[in-house]
Amino acid sequence: MAKNQMALGPGTTAPSSVRMRHALRLVALYAPIPRPVTFIGNVGSGKSTLARRIHRIAGRAGRLVEVSSGELTETLFADTLFGHVAGAFTGATGTRKGAVELADGGTLLIDDLALMHLAAQASILRVLESRRFRPLGATEDRETSARFIFASTLDLDELVSTGALLPDLRSRLGEFIVDVPSLFERVNDILPLAHKIASDFLTEVRLEASVRFTDGCADALVGYGWPGNVRQLQGVVWRALVHAGLREGEIEVRASHLPDKMLGETEAPTQGSRKLSAELVAAVLAETGGNQSEAARKLDVHRNTIARYHRSRAG
């Protein structure tokens, strides 16, 4: 199994971000309750990862099935969700189980809620209310014990106001909501996550190795805005490991192993995707008596970001 200096992440050690810790507390609180949970957060922020965490904590006997609402078109949603029996339509020579039946006893994650057709929403609402569904061509309803989890990039009330979400379905999904913060809102989690991603990757390729991010590389990772969130970080770390050279022993990942577009964003102190003003950094440094580590903690940025600011002022 691969070794790593900081094999940390949401699935192993509590993150530094207050908002992420709160989200994980809600996940643990809601997991045993067999009611729908809705995750709201930007693309790539980790909504599906938290859904899998709920499934795991709940100890569901069945499988976790994931469906993107983009697949639930007006003509295909019934077959995708509920399946069909032989002879249901031309070409239906056999029986096909839909996502609801496949997730029986387990969990059904429906992603991209904003893309779900209203007819599909109405069908899902009926399942939530009755715990029953009917495959295409069947003559009788079937029961399901699937636990439903939804994911959305937009606030549910916003979806209702634009006509993209049925008010009745919004009511059913509004009981247990978890807001998932973007990566730029949890700056202190970036390096632990990067190490966890690296560790998992090395395990996947069956390589006995440890990873060390140089100061310059760490500064670039922390200073970047991460518009693609955790999913983008994952891709960047994978690429960096390959460029650093996969081998046994210690792998040193340098800033030069990162995409060029990331390096240009570290020329000035940043907090996520917005610039920190020199005045703010100076004020916090004064408040902490020049303690750069304490200033970084207060600003929720990496210490290297404060150190870089200090060097630029001294020069």
Segment 64-105, tens digit of pLDDT: 999 999 888 888 899 999 999 988 888 888 899 999 999 999
Neighbours of 15 (CB within 10 A): 20
- Domain closes at, from 131, 152, 180: 180
Q: Match 């069947």 to its residue by tokens.
A: 138
Band of the pLDDT at 2, cuts 50, 70, 90?
Answer: very low
- Domain closes at, from 153, 180, 207: 180
- 83-84/107-111 β-pairing: unpaired
The answer, yes or no, to whether residue 143 has pLDDT greater than 60, is yes
**How many Å is the Cα radius of gyration of the chain?**
23
- Domain closes at, from 133, 165, 180: 180
pLDDT at 92: 80
For residue 295, give its domain range. Answer: 184-314
Please tell me whether residues 100 and 166 are part of one structural domain.
yes
Angstrom distance (rounded) from CA 162 to CA 155: 11
The whole-number average pLDDT for the span 225-246 is 94
Burial of 163 (0-12, 13-18, 19+ CB in 10 A): exposed
Residue 310 maps to a domain: yes
* Backbone torsions φ then ψ of 84, nearest 5 degrees: -155, 165
Tally of structural domains, the chain: 2
Of 88-92, 212-216, 290-294, where does the model show the most confidence?
212-216
Residue 11 maps to a domain: no
**Cα 58 to chain center, whole Å?**
19
pLDDT digits (tens, 9 = 90+) for 9-64: 434 456 778 889 999 999 999 999 999 999 999 999 999 999 999 999 999 999 99
Band of the pLDDT at 6, cuts 50, 70, 90?
Answer: very low
Please tell me whether residues 267 and 296 are part of one structural domain.
yes
- Collapsing DSSP states into helix, strand and coil, what is residue 171? helix
pLDDT at 272: 38
